[in-house]
Amino acid sequence: MKFYHYVHCPFCIRVRMGFGLLGIDYDSVVLPYNDEKTPLDLTGKKMLPILEISNGNVVNESLDILKKFDHNNLLNWTFYERLSVEVDLLISKISDPVHSLCMPYWIWTPEFNVESRSYFQTKKEVKRGPFKNIIRNKSVHLSALNNILTSELENNLNSFYKSSQLSIVDIMIASHLWGMYIFPEFQFTPKVHKYLQSVKAQTHFDYHQDFWK
Ligand SMILES: N[C@@H](CCC(=O)N[C@@H](CS)C(=O)NCC(=O)O)C(=O)O
């Protein structure tokens, strides 16, 4: 199976974490962000992650990919279904400041080259404004994020989110938060850091796995 992904993309990280937990092997293909042809040829959409199971058999939604392989319900999908409204809202509240803060830094990691960096920046600045202004206003995004983490995540951690066992919900939360490890002036609280590191350990996640190839 070929797994097409972007290293920084939280939805792609979701699948990497899920596959790690489920013990699913795949060929990792990191696409340059400016490669429009490969995803369009595979699915008709410029959106990753994409899993190509066999020729013509492709899946292109992170949760659909994982559901397809979680035959023993190790990720506890019913738990997510029960909490989906609050979890989706939490993810959207987390993802907004995280994306704003991390995008200007993601582009300097080895995943990007001159062309893909410029493509990414131009595309994202349409929605969010110039990256340099985002960083100038970083305190707004940092306090929004800290607020959510303290008031809506930390107090709901019972080892994992509202549970003593890891579920797909934790993979969704951790994959969205992971980007903040790249942000120079930010530190997770010890409790949230410990939580993220437990998710990492259980899912055998290695953010940098494709950088050293
Ligand atoms: N609902 C999708 C969302 C995937 C998604 O938003 N992917 C982004 C990267 S984080 C993407 O491919 N964007 C392409 C672009 O903006 O050019 C999923 O869960 O897989």
Ordered mean pLDDT values, 10 residues apiece, the chain (213 residues): 98 98 97 98 98 94 98 98 98 97 96 97 97 96 97 97 98 98 94 98 96 77
Predicted TM-score of the model (pTM): 0.97
Specify the fold of 77-203.
Glutathione S-transferase Yfyf (Class Pi); Chain A, domain 2 (1.20.1050)
Is 148:69 a contact under the CB 8 Å cutoff?
A: no
CATH number listed for the domain at residues 2-69: 3.40.30.10
Per-residue pLDDT at 211? 85
Q: Name the residue of 48, 126, 168 whose CB sits within 8 Å of the most ligand 1 atoms, as the mutation to test its pocket.
A: 48
Distances (CA, A) of 145 to 15, 95, 177, 187, 192: 24, 9, 10, 11, 12
Question: Do 80 and 169 form a contact (C-beta atoms < 8 A)?
Answer: yes
Beta carbon of 47 within 6 Å of any ligand 1 atom: yes
pLDDT of residue 177: 98
Q: Separation of 82 CA from ligand 1 center, angstroms?
A: 24
Rounded to a whole number, what is the distance in angstroms from the first to the last CA of the chain? 18
The ranges assigned to domains in the chain are: 2-69, 77-203
To test the pocket of ligand 1, the residue of 5, 6, 11 to mutate (highest count of ligand atoms within 8 Å of its CB) is 11
- Please state, in angstroms and as integers, the Cα–Cα distance from residue 82 to each residue in 92, 158, 172, following that order: 17, 17, 15
- Rounded to the nearest whole angstrom, what is the distance from the C-alpha of residue 49 to the centroid of ligand 1? 7
Distance 164 CA to ligand 1 centre (A): 30
3-state secondary structure of 163: strand
